[in-house]
Structure 1
Amino acid sequence: MLLKRAKAYSNEKIYDKAIADINNVISFYARPGSHVELKKESLVEAYYRLGYNHGSRFDFKEASDAFKKGVAVGETLPGCRWTSYCYSIWAYITSASGEYQRATELAEQGMLRGKTANDVDGYLENWYEKVRGLCEIEENSTAETEVVAAIAFARQQPGQAFILAKLLLFQARLRSRRQDLTGVLRCLYEAKRLNEMEKDTEAICESYLNLGFYHLKFNKLIEAERYSKQALSFADNTYLRLRIQNNLGYIYQRQNQFLKALAAYQAGLSGILGTGAVSGIDKLPEPQLIRLVSHKEFIISMIQDKAETWLNFYKTSRNPAHLQQAMDTYQLADRMIDYMRWEQTGTLSKLYWRKKTRKLYEQAIEACYLSGNSQKAFYFFEKSRAVLLTDKLNELSARLQLTPEQATFEQELRERINYLQLKLFSVSPKSTAYQKTRTELMARQTEFEQVIKTIERSNPQYYRYKYDNTPPSLSKLQSYLTTQAASLLTYFVGDSALYVMKVTPTETKLIRRPVDQYAQSMQQFLPLLEKSSMQLSEYDAFLKASNSLYRQLLEPMLLPGGRVIVSPEGFFFPFDALSRSARQPQFLIDSYAFSYVYSASLLLKQKPVAVTGDQDFLGVAPVTFASSLGQPTLIGSDVALEQARRLFASSTLLTQQAATRQGFRQHAPTTRVVQLLTHADADSSGREPVLYFADSLLHLSELQAEQEFHTQLLVLSACKTGIGTNQQGEGVFSLARGFALLGIPSILTTLWSVENKPTYEITNLFFKHLADGLPKDLALQKAKQEFLATAGDERQLPYHWAGILLIGNPEPLHSSGNWMYLLPGLGIVLLLMGVWVYRKQRKQPQRPPAPAYVSFRGPLPTLVSGLQTAFQSLLPHIGRSRT
């Protein structure tokens, strides 16, 4: 009776009374003997209704908690239809927070429960949520297959007009991505007819809203305005009104009615945040206020459109105040993106938002360029790239703030989640093991989220480290560049323009170039760069493309010679292979020592790795590989490691059959310099990069579960370790980036299928110059220059030497107390101490003659004795394994 009354209250939107009745029901189940008197199915229904009512008043956290509890009980009751309902609305709420990947997983689980309970309603509701998630993360092909199948199934079921109409809206969205306006309108008109037949006012509003949106998308502005106003007349839901006002604002912007557009945006924001939050078209709401609301994707879209309106308004008015409004509004949108990202856990969802908001950063940089504001431009450059990598490294720093017990528990949960993810990847989706693993994985993810939230409340330092992603100021960057005697070059490749920015210790410069010219030069340059035969046969074309890129990216910047740190947009390519001349090779390797960073923020945030490793050098060279791996022998790789180890006081070599995956995982985290001479496999197709060992291979995703690394420098002497899928707005997901996620500050990597002999030569020369105390970028430049000094004609081609890049911190290796760094200073100290001992002994009385087997006399043996005494006195301070 209480549940039925709660449902009646809910229908009348009296949510407080409904929740009170439901909580009363739930309390019954805590009474002794309740398991005999009460059905568990009713408890699942109670949790469903509790979540539904909390969600109806936009209390999504309480709603999610209720659905989780309902699922926990319902999973033990295979025939309970309420379980699938809990999943469907939980998936909807998860989508509303931008967690589309997780929402898809929840919906799939809900479909399974609906099928088991033979419940068509629950099955279709979850299928709809699955289609929504796939559409949002732009898995278009899979989404198209699913929505066609779901619509066909819904047409065969009586009483499913409502869900059929919703599925048709997603089919319209997918057809619009194929530019099929006729197909879009056919879906929308059928959905509208079904909604009108059901007399569902909110659904009718949604139909008109979509008709307005798609007419706007296909540039039919008059029809778009008409349908949007019709939608507004039906709109009772505040979020629907927000979306409609956003559409109207964008329509007015396209018509250059900027003040009318801004008023529409203000009306939409006021409806969500309250009239006091936005008191005028030139006022922005407080970020903390926005953080409290749900459906942030709608608000981000509106604020981004509002910023674009201010920018376009400025282009017409030339009023600097309008340009300032645009920059301030873009910065607010950027803050909101941070909030959304912090609330998400799925990588696919985060990558989706990086891609979706890319236009925002291009427009923000354009506004800064027009205003001549270098400080703000640098801010948006930094916020446009490698944010997920920064988040992950912030998390590593944050974990240092935990107690040992918290850290252990958190690590165990992480490892369990990682194991379950890998297990899920390896079993068939149709198997029982798949469903069981997925259920456990979801439970562990939920547990992990709860643990982190508890730690954040009790440990503010953890929270500060984890979420500190504010880019450094230009002055801080310039101070760093002063200490390094270096310059920084950063660039952004937009849809309409290429922006290039230089920062030196004393000045900054921002330029804009046509993006088509850059794209054409890159299209010519990259294929010729990666193949020796093509570079040789089309050398003139290669030089021309190389010089074109030089003139676009470097020549206008007038960079001083010496050290240059490059923060590229997206993927890396070797700047030292650019030529000053289009007719003859004048490569920049002669003038600049280049290093590369994922972002300047990462470079400045990275702290020197504590010198606490067990040894100085680890070399791994399998030479031959297990037959099942199908990899050719790497002749001479073990010999190259033998040459490298001589420069280090303590070392371990894993060669031949000892070069196992487990051996690497055991020794690498506690070694300061690690070199891998092996095979790797990667491309830009989306396939996961892998690294080969003698017995097996290592996937990029597995690196996330590694223990804390104390490695200062990782040398990946394998093919294509810097290649991977280029995720827009985030960069290339390569093996090098995977190791960077572990906190390794400097990585030497490769961009194509490099040849063994040049790689071994350059790497050993690099180690030699590191031993002389040079910074890593200068050591690599000198190594390449020395290689070129003795290389034959064909080996002068950039293919042979330019594919080796330094990513990360370019500073010299930090001293560990070993011979590599102490020899010059130690020699002087020993000499001075020896002289002191010698002089002291000369002042002492003569001793009896030495035994017959000691025949040396005079100052030399005394000096040698003094040096020996001094050396022995220093032994305890040199460190273990140094005797």
Structure 2
Amino acid sequence: MGRNDDADAYYLKCMKIREAELPYPNIALGGVYYNYGVFLTYLGRTSEAMAYSQKALDNYKAIDPDHPRVGDAYLSIGQKYVEFGDYRAGRDCFLESLRIFRKAFGEKQERVGTIYNLLGNIYRLNGDFEQARIYVERGLEITRSVLGPDHDRIASALTTVGDIEADAGNYPLALDAYRRALEIRRKILGDDNPNTAFLYFLTGQASREAGLPREGLPYLQHALKIYGDSDMGESEDMANVCASLGLTYLDLAEYAVSLSYLRKDLVILRQLYGNTHPYLADSYSNEGLWFERQGRLDSALYYYHEAMRAMSLDFDEKDIYATPGLTGIMLPYQFLDILKMKGDAFAERASGTKDLEAALDCYRRGGELIDRLRSQYRSQGAKLFFQQKADPLFAAGFRTAWRLYEQTNDRRQAEAAFWFAERSKAGLLTAALQGVADRPFAGVPDSLRLHAENLRSRISGAEQQVNDERLWPSDSTGRQLSLLKSRQTALQSSFDSLLAVLENRFPAFYQLNYGTATASLAAIQHKIPDKRTAVLEYFLTNDRLYTFTITRSDVNLSAADRPQSLDEDIAYLRSPPDRTLWLREPDKAAADYLSRSHRLFGILIGQYLDVSRYDRLVVIPHGILSYMPFEGLSSDEGVDFRQADFLVRRCAVQYANSATLWAADRENRSGREKKLLGMAPAYGNALAQTNIAQDLNFRGSLGPLKFNETEISQAAEYFPGSILLNGAAATELAFKENAPDAAILHLAMHALVSDSLPMQSRLIFAPGQDTLEDGLLHAYELYNMKLPAEMAVLSACNTGFGRLAAGEGVMSLAHAFRYAGCKSIIMSLWPAEDEGTAKIIARFYAHLADGLPKDEALRLARLDYLGQADLMHAHPYYWAHLVAVGDMAPLRKSRTIPVWGWILAALALAAAVRIFRVRKS
């Protein structure tokens, strides 16, 4: 440290001389600011480094805004933003740096390639691996063309490729990239260079993560030798290798060797960082894991607790039952892991309620932390964050609360379990909205939205600066720490005030991005309108199926083993009938389906409810259950679909992503004039031959829809003044021009729902003549539209078949329509027969015109279809695909006679008058 202190003093002395002698701005003055910022970054004093990098930037920009030194300063600041976790600001800095370097040097320049590599890393951290690959490959191409194939910059870019593939779980590709980078380093730096050792370490670590610990051992041991033979034997890099070796030997069940390496890691980090540091917390967590694998839970809990103490700047409690608050946590994402591990150890050790309550406290605190981090999901890779951290914690919290409820029969524990279930479903929605916050929202001024994003980023940076100052004080008086804390408090106060404005003026936007309110069981009971309505909420784990059965008078909780055939049964019930089997053995085909249907009816409904006592069910599905319409489940078995006792014969069913959203739906009512916009594009065979359906792994075919024009024409007969746009007139631009004024939107067109990127899901309109619209209405575009419709009918194929990941429910175009203002959605869950859908929709509107609630109108429309269907077309595949979501209130109180009805009535009256005249004469 002595040499670092000397260097620090020399930098400050040089800076003082140049500030006194050189005019402002000046390249040399900017240079000392820039270099001192680099030096402070090396020392880990990131907040101070940021300040000097900013001074360098201001100096250079005053000389020439497009000077290459400005690009260097943006590059340095961008890297610090990445360290703060503000990836959006980091990306913006890198893009500005890229613009400047390309203007100064052209595309084929070394620094341009480096920035492409850094941008690729940003997208990796965002979880957008496809975009990350594009940027890194471009950077590799440029760097190779400038520096040749065997340069250290090539090795760095290949390392980023390996990081991308490792994060994406593509370990063979990750290992290939690391090994290629390793060979370059060995060739140009030698086999005993510390930079080469780093790639040995990465290769060994990736091998362990790939489930190949034995293959990774030689790489880790070689890295250990290189560091040991150099002056880095007590370095952070050496500690990382020891930790990875300890975990590798733990996977190999060589416990003594494993513990020796884990202990060495801990010793090095204590020497480097004292008692408080994120890396030290990680080391304690690894030792806790070692003891947990041995079944020594008392010791595991001790080490997990020590990890909490090492991660928190405000917590020094030694009682393992104590849990720190959420202030002063250095790395919240890593702290979430510690909370989960400690909670798991308490839950595993529990023989009574004390340890279970301690576990629940850990999980609840984790849930609160997730809510705090919720607005950062998008900047930390929303889907990966939810899959890897949030969802497992919610599931563990749910199971623990359920165990406590079973032991105590305490309603508070039932409420806790319900809270975890609802928070899980809210997190799924947030994860699906990755990237939407970067786009405009309808009615929300960009200035407010961007100001909120900016404040959030500045708060994150301010918190990091406070933590840095506490770890590495820049003065002995504490004045700098006090100043930084005051800035943090002021920023948080500004952000809280802005959130209050957003919540008051733009409640839908606020709830989508910042709201964390969760309805209680009691609140859901209060929202149930009558004793003939029941709510069924499900929560699925890998091995259990949990059910809340909620009525106005009672709440029942039930748990059962998850059926081994659940996924297979649901896939079967969604599949079209085998026509060959139907022709040869129709009774067997029907019996096979009804047997599975009956089994699932008993598992999901029959054991909880006597459906004869209810007229309406509200289903809150979870995971794979989101893919299945419950109306097609049968309470009996048989061989004839026309006689089967399907649930549709007993109850109307509606669906919601969460009970909290369902309760909010019931508060929305409108008395708008009922004007329908119907759209039915014409699709030629050529569209089915394009690659559009393969883009982003879309499901569904794109063949012609023969009955979509008939469908919207029949719907329009009940709504005078309807606007019908068929064929080439059904363009995206026409939709955007007419939809805001319609009370009913009926879109009989193809929809493509992305499995991997829900916000890229899209409706396919007729191609337009304008250049502003591409004929593809994306889900993210709907968030910037105002569609105050009473109902949207999305009868297109696969409208509701969204992405399923880590228990995710259906996240598709349907939610985007609801955010835009549509109070209810009728959507399809699979590609259905065009003609049958048109028949059901026609009857649906007829029953709506009689003043029935939407779910009841849909139920009766299905029964009308079943009443005239032949044996095969009575199969639920042909009628169960349409489901109702949202506000089910009737559209109107009394029936409106269709136009053709008035014509018939007029003809009948004319005939009657003529008959009367003839008789009179």
Which TM-score applies when normalising by structure 2? 0.73
Partner of 2:348: 312
Partner of 1:230: 264
CA contact (8 A) 2:570 2:628 kept: no
Q: Compared with structure 1, are the counterparts of its residues 503 and 217 closer, same or farther at alpha carbon in structure 2 (3 Å cutoff)?
A: farther
1: distance between equivalents of 2:210 and 2:85? Answer: 35
CA contact (8 A) 1:374 1:508 kept: no
Corresponding residue pairs, total: 770
Partner of 1:194: 226
Matches for 1:275-424 after TM superposition, within 5 Å: 276=315, 278-290=317-329, 293-294=330-331, 296-314=332-350, 318-345=351-378, 349-372=382-405, 373-389=413-429, 406=447
The answer to whether structure 1 residue 550 and structure 2 residue 601 are counterparts is yes
The 10-residue stretch of structure 1 (559-568 or 53-62) with the greater mean CA deviation from structure 2: 53-62
The answer to whether structure 1 residue 267 and structure 2 residue 322 are counterparts is no
Partner of 1:135: 166
The answer to whether structure 1 residue 540 and structure 2 residue 553 are counterparts is no
Instruction: Report how far residue 100 of structure 1 moved.
Output: 7.6
What do the CA deviations read for 1:400-445 (whole angstroms, capped 9, x no partner)?
Answer: 897757379999x9xxxxxxxxxxxxxxxxxxxxxxxxxxxxxxxx
Partner of 2:500: 460
The answer to whether structure 1 residue 736 and structure 2 residue 814 are counterparts is yes
CA RMSD of aligned residues (A): 4.4
What is the letter of the counterpart of residue 668 of structure 1? A
What is the letter of the counterpart of residue 194 of structure 1? I
Partner of 1:489: 536
SS at match of 1:510: strand
The answer to whether structure 1 residue 784 and structure 2 residue 815 are counterparts is no
CA contact (8 A) 1:700 1:738 kept: no
What is the letter of the counterpart of residue 212 of structure 1? G
What is the letter of the counterpart of residue 184 of structure 1? G
Instruction: Report how far residue 207 of structure 1 moved.
Output: 0.7
The answer to whether structure 1 residue 588 and structure 2 residue 641 are counterparts is no
2: distance between equivalents of 1:692 and 1:7? Answer: 51
The 10-residue stretch of structure 1 (544-553 or 697-706) with the greater mean CA deviation from structure 2: 697-706
What do the CA deviations read for 1:238-259 (whole angstroms, capped 9, x no partner)?
Answer: 2221111111112222333223
SS at match of 1:749: strand
Q: Compared with structure 1, are the counterparts of its residues 91 and 772 closer, same or farther at alpha carbon in structure 2 (3 Å cutoff)?
A: same
Q: Compared with structure 1, are the counterparts of its residues 30 and 173 closer, same or farther at alpha carbon in structure 2 (3 Å cutoff)?
A: closer
2: distance between equivalents of 1:641 and 1:530? Answer: 27
Partner of 2:27: none
The answer to whether structure 1 residue 643 and structure 2 residue 714 are counterparts is yes
1: distance between equivalents of 2:703 and 2:130? Answer: 39
The 10-residue stretch of structure 1 (103-112 or 257-266) with the greater mean CA deviation from structure 2: 103-112
The 10-residue stretch of structure 1 (698-707 or 96-105) with the greater mean CA deviation from structure 2: 96-105
Instruction: Give the share of equivalent positions with the same residue, in percent.
Output: 22
Choose from 169, 187, 205 the match for 2:239: 205
What do the CA deviations read for 1:714-771 (whole angstroms, capped 9, x no partner)?
Answer: 2122332222432224334444345445443322122233223322222122112222
CA contact (8 A) 2:363 2:393 kept: yes
CA contact (8 A) 1:266 1:278 kept: no
Partner of 1:875: none
Instruction: Report how far residue 264 of structure 1 moved.
Output: 0.8
CA contact (8 A) 1:686 1:724 kept: no
Q: Compared with structure 1, are the counterparts of its residues 637 and 129 closer, same or farther at alpha carbon in structure 2 (3 Å cutoff)?
A: closer
Instruction: Report how far residue 204 of structure 1 moved.
Output: 1.1
CA contact (8 A) 1:530 1:799 kept: yes
Instruction: Report how far residue 379 of structure 1 moved.
Output: 0.9
2: distance between equivalents of 1:62 and 1:727? Answer: 29
Choose from 673, 680, 688 the match for 1:621: 680
1: distance between equivalents of 2:815 and 2:85? Answer: 39
2: distance between equivalents of 1:593 and 1:745? Answer: 18
The 10-residue stretch of structure 1 (44-53 or 774-783) with the greater mean CA deviation from structure 2: 44-53
Instruction: Report how far residue 672 of structure 1 moved.
Output: 1.6
Q: Compared with structure 1, are the counterparts of its residues 793 and 303 closer, same or farther at alpha carbon in structure 2 (3 Å cutoff)?
A: same
CA contact (8 A) 2:732 2:777 kept: no
Instruction: Report how far residue 325 of structure 1 moved.
Output: 1.2
Instruction: Report how far residue 366 of structure 1 moved.
Output: 1.2
Choose from 598, 604, 619 the match for 1:566: 619
The answer to whether structure 1 residue 527 and structure 2 residue 572 are counterparts is yes
Q: Compared with structure 1, are the counterparts of its residues 156 and 659 closer, same or farther at alpha carbon in structure 2 (3 Å cutoff)?
A: same
1: distance between equivalents of 2:618 and 2:369? Answer: 30
SS at match of 2:634: coil
Choose from 160, 166, 177 the match for 1:146: 177
Partner of 1:427: none
SS at match of 2:417: helix
2: distance between equivalents of 1:175 and 1:185? Answer: 8
2: distance between equivalents of 1:171 and 1:649? Answer: 69
Q: Compared with structure 1, are the counterparts of its residues 712 and 52 closer, same or farther at alpha carbon in structure 2 (3 Å cutoff)?
A: closer
Q: Compared with structure 1, are the counterparts of its residues 163 and 488 closer, same or farther at alpha carbon in structure 2 (3 Å cutoff)?
A: farther
CA contact (8 A) 2:787 2:817 kept: no
CA contact (8 A) 2:386 2:431 kept: no
CA contact (8 A) 1:100 1:349 kept: no
2: distance between equivalents of 1:765 and 1:473? Answer: 37
Structure 2: 5+ residue runs without aligned partners? 1-13, 15-31, 406-412, 455-490, 504-509, 690-701, 769-774, 900-921
1: distance between equivalents of 2:444 and 2:755? Answer: 41
What do the CA deviations read for 1:574-599 (whole angstroms, capped 9, x no partner)?
Answer: 21211222446322112221111122
Instruction: Report how far residue 610 of structure 1 moved.
Output: 7.7
Q: Compared with structure 1, are the counterparts of its residues 632 and 252 closer, same or farther at alpha carbon in structure 2 (3 Å cutoff)?
A: closer
Partner of 1:861: none
